[in-house]
Amino acid sequence: MGKREASGPERRTIIAGAGMRIIARDGLRALTHRAVDSEAGLAQGSSSYYVPTRSALIELIVRALAERSIAESEEAARSVRSSLGSASGLTVDDFATAIAGLVETFASRAVEMRTRYALLLELDRSDPLHALLSSRSPVQQQSVSVVGEALVGLGVEDASARAAELLALAEALLAHRVVAGDTSSPVTPVVASYLRGVVRARGQE
């Protein structure tokens, strides 16, 4: 029996993955249809059949990154909301561990994260694709909502503002791991210290 030909959606996934590896390794300027075909092990001209222009190729990669981030964030949201609904509730240590776990999960996907950072630097902020990867993304909006719910559960007022701060801290810790390559510094204690600070500030009001 011959090898099954990949379907259109499967080919697009293969192309997006190859594009990410090229960007992560060689930078955005190295992204060409020819390079993608070679990286993916496809016949020359294959990627241009599915995404005819370089702009379309970049859009395919951005949307693939966004979809994967949404899936990870939704899973994390379910976990946090489950803890909020439990009899014991959510503790500072539980929440710090959950945030740190998410940072570690994203950091373990170094190719995707390096691609994201490269695209954020190269894409114009007015480009709708930039918004899909930045703090204006649907993932960020969902994250602010879920983190805000958790902070309310911990007794923190002005939860939306604090949620944005916490996510900025998590983003910085993630960038430090991916860009600087520092995997030795623990994440959980840093997040826990921030959380104890905002919870303590609430208790002193």
Q: What is the pLDDT of residues 17-31, one digit of tens each?
A: 999 999 999 999 999
* Pick from 132, 162, 127, 124: nearest CA to 144: 162
pTM (2 d.p.):
0.84
Find how far residue 2's CA is from the centre of its chain.
38
Is the distance from CB of 191 to CB of 93 less than 8 angstroms? no
What value does the mean pLDDT take over residues 122-129? 93
Structure tokens at 64: 């693939």
Please, where are the H alpha helices in 45-158?
A: 46-50, 54-84, 92-107, 110-122, 128-133, 138-153
Give the CA-trace dihedral at 71, 76, 78, 82, to 10 degrees.
170
**Domain edges within the chain:** 65-204
Answer for the pair 94, 4: CB distance below 8 angstroms, yes or no.
no
Instruction: Give the pLDDT confidence score for residue 22 in this predicted structure.
Output: 98
Three-state DSSP class for 87?
coil
169 pLDDT more than 80? yes
Q: How confident is the model at residue 197 (pLDDT cuts 50, 70, 90)?
A: very high
Instruction: Read off the pLDDT of residues 33-78 as tens digits, 9 standing for 90 and up.
Output: 999 999 999 999 999 999 999 999 999 999 999 988 888 778 777 8
Give the pLDDT of residue 28: 95
CB hemisphere CA count around 73 (13 angstroms): 18
pLDDT higher than 80, residue 112 = yes
CATH 3.40.190 given to domain 65-204 = no
